[in-house]
């Protein structure tokens, strides 16, 4: 559905050195599915021999992907459907009660679904730059959600808090093991920071505006998405800010970014079924929407709308074990990546949960990242 409105020229075009051409994403999604759901679990040979190495995300940095002899046009589409056919053939003969941890409870199928769904979001990052992109479907209900009034910040009690995914059910290696931490009580913003608040910060400090903002006269802003320029809606959450910008805003507001542990404690009880996810709306809902689906602490929109930068470096939890391979999380551990939480309007619903950890470089702004501040009590 996402790529159907696009021409082959648009699928092959490089829009940004930090984003792959969409044709690479599509081939990579199919190749990753073939690697795990056909080759690895059934021992079958790959359909296209050595093709796989061009779709290895670690071997091929985004800036070089368009120079690779990747599949394009009809060849790409027939490879994608060929892989899916073989995946379904293998599924018919596979034993999901197996002792193999890859197969047990269908783990590897959840993994590949999550991978494809996470690439949907990466592709949506690029679609923001595509002139006159017109989605096949758009759902206006998130934007029409009633906005609840409430205090600027809510209190989170802290104490002994369980962090991470429980055993059983699908979760990534970096969400495990579940463990207990001790948190001081703190306050967290009830809603994500809005465009209006962020514009005031930009005006007062001369800070750079978020990606896709442009001045429209002396004190007004417009923002452009998918080739369409519109007046900025001050009630909506700010999006496309870097970690440094988010932290700068928080300091200006007399607050700070939450740690990811604080964020997870504040998100307890948030419901992904009542959140702006799944790129239904192709944009955010106003801050304060989904008031009936607040977390136990009273914060709204913890899930959906915008990813929220935390002050935490991406690291392994105590007792971390890489599974099923080091390249998913472990190679990214360290101070160079900051953790984001909560998912955005562009995140698929089945990907997100309160324990889900996303990470990126602190300078990145093409991701759907916003701000929610915290404060010591
Ligand atoms: Fe990938």
pLDDT band (50, 70, 90) for residue 188: very high
pLDDT band (50, 70, 90) for residue 207: very high
Q: Give the other-Cβ count within 10 Å of 222's Cβ.
A: 14
Cα–ligand 1 centroid distance for 134 (angstroms):
25
Cα–ligand 1 centroid distance for 301 (angstroms):
27
Q: Would the pLDDT of 284 be above 90?
A: yes
Cα–ligand 1 centroid distance for 318 (angstroms):
26
Q: What's the pLDDT score for residue 251? A: 98
Region 335-364: mean pLDDT is 98
pLDDT band (50, 70, 90) for residue 253: very high
Residue list, CB under 5 A from ion ligand 1: 57
Cα–ligand 1 centroid distance for 369 (angstroms):
19
Q: Would the pLDDT of 174 be above 90?
A: yes
Residues of the chain with pLDDT > 70, as a percent, come to 100
More confident residue, 82 or 148: 82
| Dihedrals phi, psi of 310, to nearest 5 degrees | -115, 165
pLDDT band (50, 70, 90) for residue 143: confident
Q: What's the pLDDT score for residue 148? A: 86
Q: Would the pLDDT of 327 be above 90?
A: no
Cα radius of gyration rounded to whole Å, the chain: 21
Helix (H) or strand (E) holding 161: strand 159-163
Cα–ligand 1 centroid distance for 192 (angstroms):
28
Cα atoms found within 13 Å of the Cα of residue 97, Cβ hemisphere only: 0
Cα–ligand 1 centroid distance for 328 (angstroms):
9
Cα–ligand 1 centroid distance for 375 (angstroms):
36
Q: Would the pLDDT of 58 be above 90?
A: no
Q: Would the pLDDT of 50 be above 90?
A: no
Cα–ligand 1 centroid distance for 28 (angstroms):
7
Cα–ligand 1 centroid distance for 144 (angstroms):
34
Residues of the chain with pLDDT > 90, as a percent, come to 90
How far apart (Å, rounded) are the C-alpha atoms in residues 249 and 243?
Answer: 10
Region 232-257: mean pLDDT is 98
Q: How far is CA 59 from CA 31, 108, 207, 363, in A?
A: 14, 22, 36, 22
Cα–ligand 1 centroid distance for 130 (angstroms):
21
Q: Would the pLDDT of 275 be above 90?
A: yes
Cα–ligand 1 centroid distance for 78 (angstroms):
20
Q: What's the pLDDT score for residue 63? A: 86
How far apart (Å, rounded) are the C-alpha atoms in residues 127 and 122?
Answer: 9
Cα–ligand 1 centroid distance for 122 (angstroms):
9
Supply the DSSP string of 193-227, one letter for each residue.
PBHHHHHHHHHHH-PPPPTTEEE-SSS-EEEEETT
The average confidence (pLDDT) of the chain is 96
Supply the DSSP string of 8-49, one letter for each residue.
HHHHH----TTS--HHHHHHHHHHHHHIIIIIIHH-PPPTTG
Cα–ligand 1 centroid distance for 114 (angstroms):
10
Q: Would the pLDDT of 181 be above 90?
A: yes
Q: What's the pLDDT score for residue 168? A: 86
């Amino acid at each position: 559905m996402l790529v159907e409105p696009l021409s082959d020229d648009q699928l092959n075009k490089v829009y940004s050195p930090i984003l792959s051409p969409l044709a690479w994403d599509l081939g990579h999604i199919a190749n990753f599915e073939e690697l795990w759901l056909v080759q690895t679990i059934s021992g079958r040979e790959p359909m296209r021999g050595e093709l796989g190495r061009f779709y290895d995300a670690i071997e091929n940095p985004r800036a070089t992907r368009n120079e690779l002899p990747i599949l394009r046009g009809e060849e790409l589409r027939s490879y994608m459907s060929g892989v899916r056919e073989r995946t379904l053939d293998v599924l018919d003969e596979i034993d999901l009660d197996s002792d193999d941890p890859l197969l047990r409870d269908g783990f590897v199928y959840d993994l590949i679904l999550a991978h494809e769904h996470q690439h949907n979001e990466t592709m949506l990052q690029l679609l923001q730059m595509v002139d006159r992109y017109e989605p096949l479907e758009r759902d206006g209900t998130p934007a029409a959600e009633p906005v609840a009034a409430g205090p600027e910040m809510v209190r989170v009690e802290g104490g002994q808090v369980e962090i991470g995914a429980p055993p059983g059910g699908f979760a990534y290696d970096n969400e495990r093991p579940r463990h207990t931490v001790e948190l001081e009580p703190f306050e967290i913003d009830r809603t994500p920071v809005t465009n209006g608040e962020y514009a005031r910060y930009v005006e007062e400090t001369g800070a750079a505006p978020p990606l896709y903002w442009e001045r429209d006269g002396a004190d007004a802003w417009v923002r452009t998405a998918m080739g369409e320029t519109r007046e900025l809606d001050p009630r909506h959450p700010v999006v496309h800010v870097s970690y440094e910008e988010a932290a700068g805003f928080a300091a200006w507001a007399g607050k700070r970014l939450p740690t990811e542990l604080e964020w997870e404690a504040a998100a307890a009880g948030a419901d992904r079924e009542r959140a702006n996810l799944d790129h239904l709306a192709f944009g955010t809902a106003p801050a304060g929407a989904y008031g009936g689906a607040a977390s136990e602490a009273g914060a709204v929109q913890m899930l959906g709308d915008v990813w929220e930068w935390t002050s935490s470096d991406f690291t392994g939890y105590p007792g971390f074990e890489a599974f099923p391979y080091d390249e998913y999380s472990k190679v990214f551990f360290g101070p160079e990546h900051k953790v984001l939480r909560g998912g955005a309007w562009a995140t698929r619903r089945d990907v997100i949960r309160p324990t889900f950890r996303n990470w990126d470089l602190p300078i990145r702004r093409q991701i759907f990242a916003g701000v929610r501040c915290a404060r010591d009590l």
